[in-house]
Amino acid sequence: MSEEESTVIFVLGGPGSGKGTQCAKIVDSFGYVHFSAGDLLRQFVRSGTKEGNECAEMMQQGKIVPSSVTVNLLKTAMKESGQSKFLIDGFPRNLENRDTFLSVVGHDCTFVLFFDCPEDVLEKRLLGRAEGRADDNIETIKKRFKTYQDQTMPVIEHYDKKGMVKHVKTDVSIEEVFEKVSAFFK
Ligand code: UDP
Ligand code: MG
């Protein structure tokens, strides 16, 4: 399968906005392969390499790890899947991530699925979930919100100008969100 033939949907939204939950449902209903950039990074961290440890430190500070690391993980995962329809969740986190993806993978996304949810709701969800993530503590959460506002919102704005963003309000139930999301895949 050549890369030119692949379809890529970027799924963006604040931490706790429901990216992973909705992606699992999209996979079940619409036959996409889902890769979470954060999950791939946590797996990379578990490798225990020096580079992995450096990434863990950045994630603990709510910072964005170097594009070369993330894009390589994504590219490898896409290639190894042998599939052609991809949901990429939690990426690109900044404009440099996006530029690197374009030059390495060779093409842009088809559209961006953007999950819009107020910060107070996100904070409650993150503190309430018990996934054992090292970064789900109030101190790191505040840093993740700031990084998101400063660096990820410009990515949404970039794609919005191109008319490529599908907006969904996600401060409602999983089922209500999925009903809205489904419409974009039918
Ligand atoms: N991260 C990153 N680049 C990415 C995706 C994630 O650097 O492309 C790091 C970043 O430090 C982020 C953390 O991984 O705060 C967790 O990301 P994830 O998408 O899992 O979680 P979210 O903050 O959206 O809940
Ligand atoms: Mg996630």
185 alpha carbon to ligand 1 midpoint, in Å?
A: 25
- What are the start-end ranges of the E strands in 23-139? 33-36, 85-89, 111-116
In angstroms and rounded to an integer, the radius of gyration of the C-alpha atoms of the chain is 16
Cis, bond preceding 92 (omega within 30 deg of 0): yes
The candidate with the shortest Cα–Cα distance to 15, out of 174, 177, 160, 147, is 147
Domain containing residue 74: CATH number: 3.40.50.300
pTM for the predicted model, two decimal places: 0.96
What's the token pair of residue 183?
Answer: 């419409």
The rounded distance, in Å, linking the Cα atoms of 71 and 91 is: 9
Q: What percent of the chain has pLDDT over 90?
A: 96
Enclosing domain of residue 144: 3-183
The rounded distance, in Å, linking the Cα atoms of 39 and 103 is: 23
> Into how many domains does the chain fold?
1
| pLDDT one-digit tens code per residue, 114-147 | 999 999 999 999 999 988 999 999 999 999 999 9
DSSP state of 65: P
CB-CB contact of 146 with 62 (8 Å): yes
Torsion of CA 123, 58, 159, 178, to 10 degrees: -40
pLDDT band at 184 (very low <50, low <70, confident <90, very high): very high
| pLDDT one-digit tens code per residue, 20-31 | 999 999 999 999
The rounded distance, in Å, linking the Cα atoms of 179 and 176 is: 5
Q: Which residues line ligand 1 (CB under 6 A)?
A: 15-16, 36-38, 41, 58-59, 62-65, 70, 90-91, 93, 97, 135, 144
The residues placing their C-beta within 5 Å of ligand 2, an ion, are: 20, 36, 38
